[in-house]
C-alpha cells in the first residue's frame, strides 16, 4: 500500500518539476518583470508554480485516500491511523522491534512491562507454541511465594513479587483474582543446616522480609500436630509469603500486554536467519565476519512456516530455552558460542492427597519443607493437600512425557510426610500431575540479561522452580535492560550469562 502511494507521489513530483523547468526556461524571466504586459502577468499569477504544486499535492492526497478507501466501499474506521492500527493488530507481524520467544509467566511479564512503558514506541511480538498452556511450567507449578533464600537478588525479586501481588488488581485489572493465601512458608532444618538457616533469616529480615526462627519447643507449641524429632530449627514467614493461582497471574499479564498493544502468535520457533554485520566486532571473530540474528522462522499451528524480522529477541521459553538457544548456535558454535545455555526440562510430580481421618493440619498451616526437601501445603478448604519432593540426580525421571509415577509417592514422599505429621500415616492420593522445571544445570538459578556474543539477544530463563514468584521482577528488569540499557530497580548483573563463561556459579545455601 505504501509503495503504491509513493509511486503516485513520485510521479506527480517529477511532473511538477518538469513544469517548473519549462516555465522558467522559456523566456528566462519571472512574473515581476516590468517589461511584461498586464495580461501576461495575470496569466503568470494564474499558473504560479507554487499554487500549482499545492493543487497537485491536494490531488495526490485524494488519490492516496481513494486507494485506502475505494469508492463505493464504506471506510472501516473513521481515519487512516485507526485503519492502520487495526491492520497492524489483525495481520501477522512479519516485522517487530522485540520478539519474545515464550508466552508463559516470564515471557508475558516481559511483554507486559515493555508495552506498559513504551506503548506505541515498541512493536512487541510474543511467540507461544501452545495457547492452551496445558504443559506450561507456570500453570503446573504449586504457585509458592517466599523470601527464604540466601542470595540477595532472589530475596529482592520475591519481595517485589509480594508487592506486585498486593497491587495486582490495580496493575493487571479488577478481574484478575490470584487468590493469595498468606500463611507463609515454614523451612525446617536439622542440626546440619541450622546455622545456615539462621544466617539466611538474618539476611532476609535486613532486606525487608519478616520471618522468625523457632526452636523445636516453639514449633511444637505453634503446630502441635508436628513431630519435631530430628528438627533443630524452623524459619517461619510471617508476612509476604504464601501461595497463589499462577494461571490467574499469567492470564493477567497476557491480557494487559495485549491491551497495551502486544501481539501473540501461536507457533513454534524452529530456526533463525543470520546476517553478516560488517561494522560489528567481537572476541574470536575476524573483522567483517560477525553474524547476527536477523529473523526467526515460526512453524504455525497449521504447519506453515512464517518468518519474523526483529531488532531484538528474548529467549524466555522456559524448559525449552536450551533447545531454542541451540537454534541460534549457542552451544554449537565457536569461541563464546561453544558455551551452551544450560537449561533443560526436568520432570516434577505434584500429588494431591487427603488425610482419611480428617485429623490433618488446620487451614492456617504454612507451606512446609522438611530437611529432605519434601513439602506439603493445604489446597483449599476441603481437607486436601498438595505435596511432593524433588528427586536426586540418580532418581531423575525421564522428561520425554508428563506421565505420573505414583510409586514415587509411596517410596519417597509418603514416608517423609508421615514422619513429620503422624496423622499423615493414613492418607490417600486422589490426583496428581507432572510439570517441567526449567532446570539450570549450572547452579539452579535464573539467567537474566544480554548474551555476550549477540548484540540483540537477551535471555530470561533457568529459574529452576522459583520462576513464577519472580516473574514480576524479571519482566520489569528485562524491560529496563532493553529500554534503558541497564538494570535500574534490582541489579541482576550477577545473574547474567557471563557467570557461566567464567565458571562462577551462584548457589543457594540450605534452600530447595
What confidence tier does 19 reach under pLDDT thresholds 50, 70, 90? very low
> Is residue 153 over pLDDT 70?
yes
pLDDT of residue 48: 55
pLDDT of residue 399: 92
Q: pLDDT tens digits for 427-439?
A: 999 999 999 999 9
Q: What is the mean pLDDT of residues 400-408?
A: 96
What is the overall mean pLDDT for the chain?
A: 86
pLDDT of residue 13: 44
> Is residue 29 over pLDDT 60?
no
> Is residue 70 over pLDDT 60?
no
What confidence tier does 279 reach under pLDDT thresholds 50, 70, 90? confident
CB 120 within 8 A of CB 159: no
Give whole-number Cα distances, 95 to 20, 91, 124, 231, 292, in Å: 40, 11, 9, 58, 16
CB 198 within 8 A of CB 233: yes
Q: What contacts 153, CB < 8 A, 6 or more positions away?
A: 490, 491, 492, 494, 495
Model confidence, pTM: 0.82
Q: What is the mean pLDDT of residues 232-261?
A: 97
Query: Which DSSP string corresponds to 182-225?
Result: ---EEEEE-TTTHHHHHHHHHHHHHTT--EEEE-HHHHHHH-TT
Q: What percent of the chain has pLDDT over 70?
A: 81
Higher confidence at residue 379 or residue 77?
A: 379
pLDDT of residue 52: 54
Amino acid at each position: 500500500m505504501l509503495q503504491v502511494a509513493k509511486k503516485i507521489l513520485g510521479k506527480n513530483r517529477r511532473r511538477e518539476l518538469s513544469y517548473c523547468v519549462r516555465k522558467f526556461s522559456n523566456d528566462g524571466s519571472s512574473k515581476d518583470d516590468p517589461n511584461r504586459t498586464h495580461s501576461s502577468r495575470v496569466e503568470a499569477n494564474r499558473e504560479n508554480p507554487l499554487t500549482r504544486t499545492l493543487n497537485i499535492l491536494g490531488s495526490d492526497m485524494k488519490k492516496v485516500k481513494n486507494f485506502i478507501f475505494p469508492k463505493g466501499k464504506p471506510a472501516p474506521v473513521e481515519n487512516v491511523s485507526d485503519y492502520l492500527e487495526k491492520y497492524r493488530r489483525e495481520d501477522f507481524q512479519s516485522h517487530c522491534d522485540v520478539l519474545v520467544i515464550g508466552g508463559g509467566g516470564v515471557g508475558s511479564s516481559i511483554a507486559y512491562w515493555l508495552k506498559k512503558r513504551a506503548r506505541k514506541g515498541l512493536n512487541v511480538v510474543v511467540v507461544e507454541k501452545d495457547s492452551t498452556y496445558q504443559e506450561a511450567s507456570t500453570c503446573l507449578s504449586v504457585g509458592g511465594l517466599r523470601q527464604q533464600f540466601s542470595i540477595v537478588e532472589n530475596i529482592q525479586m520475591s519481595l517485589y513479587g509480594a508487592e506486585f501481588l498486593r497491587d495486582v488488581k490495580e496493575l493487571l485489572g479488577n478481574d484478575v483474582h490470584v487468590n493469595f493465601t498468606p500463611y507463609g512458608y515454614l523451612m525446617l532444618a536439622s542440626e546440619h543446616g541450622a546455622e545456615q538457616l539462621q544466617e539466611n533469616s538474618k539476611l532476609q529480615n535486613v532486606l525487608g522480609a519478616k520471618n522468625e526462627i523457632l526452636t523445636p519447643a516453639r514449633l511444637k507449641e505453634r503446630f502441635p500436630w508436628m513431630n519435631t524429632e530430628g528438627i533443630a530449627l524452623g524459619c517461619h514467614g510471617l508476612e509476604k509469603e504464601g501461595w497463589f493461582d499462577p494461571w490467574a497471574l499469567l492470564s493477567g499479564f497476557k491480557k494487559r500486554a495485549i491491551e497495551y498493544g502486544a501481539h501473540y502468535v501461536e507457533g513454534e520457533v524452529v530456526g533463525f536467519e543470520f546476517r553478516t554485520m560488517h561494522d560489528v566486532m567481537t572476541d574470536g571473530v575476524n573483522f567483517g565476519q560477525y553474524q547476527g540474528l536477523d529473523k526467526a522462522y515460526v512453524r504455525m499451528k497449521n504447519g506453515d512456516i512464517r518468518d519474523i524480522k526483529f531488532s531484538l529477541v528474548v529467549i524466555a521459553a522456559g524448559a525449552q530455552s536450551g533447545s531454542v538457544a541451540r537454534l541460534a548456535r549457542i552451544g554449537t558454535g565457536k569461541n563464546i558460542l561453544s558455551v551452551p545455555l544450560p537449561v533443560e526440562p526436568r520432570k516434577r510430580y505434584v500429588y494431591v492427597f487427603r488425610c482419611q481421618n480428617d485429623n490433618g493440619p488446620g487451614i492456617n498451616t504454612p507451606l512446609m519443607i522438611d530437611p529432605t526437601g519434601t513439602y506439603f501445603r493445604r489446597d483449599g478448604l476441603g481437607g486436601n493437600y498438595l505435596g511432593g519432593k524433588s528427586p536426586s540426580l540418580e532418581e531423575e525421571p525421564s522428561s520425554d512425557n508428563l506421565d505420573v509415577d505414583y510409586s514415587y509417592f509411596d517410596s519417597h514422599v509418603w514416608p517423609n510426610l508421615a514422619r513429620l505429621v503422624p496423622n499423615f500415616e493414613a492418607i490417600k492420593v486422589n490426583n496428581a500431575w507432572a510439570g517441567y522445571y526449567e532446570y539450570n544445570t549450572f547452579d539452579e538459578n535464573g539467567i537474566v540479561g544480554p548474551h555476550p556474543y549477540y548484540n540483540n539477544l537477551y535471555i530470561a530463563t533457568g529459574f529452576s522452580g522459583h520462576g513464577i514468584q519472580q516473574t514480576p521482577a524479571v519482566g520489569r528488569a528485562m524491560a529496563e535492560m532493553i529500554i534503558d540499557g541497564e538494570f535500574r530497580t534490582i541489579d541482576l548483573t550477577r545473574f547474567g550469562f557471563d557467570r557461566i563463561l567464567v565458571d562462577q556459579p551462584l548457589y543457594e545455601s540450605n534452600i530447595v
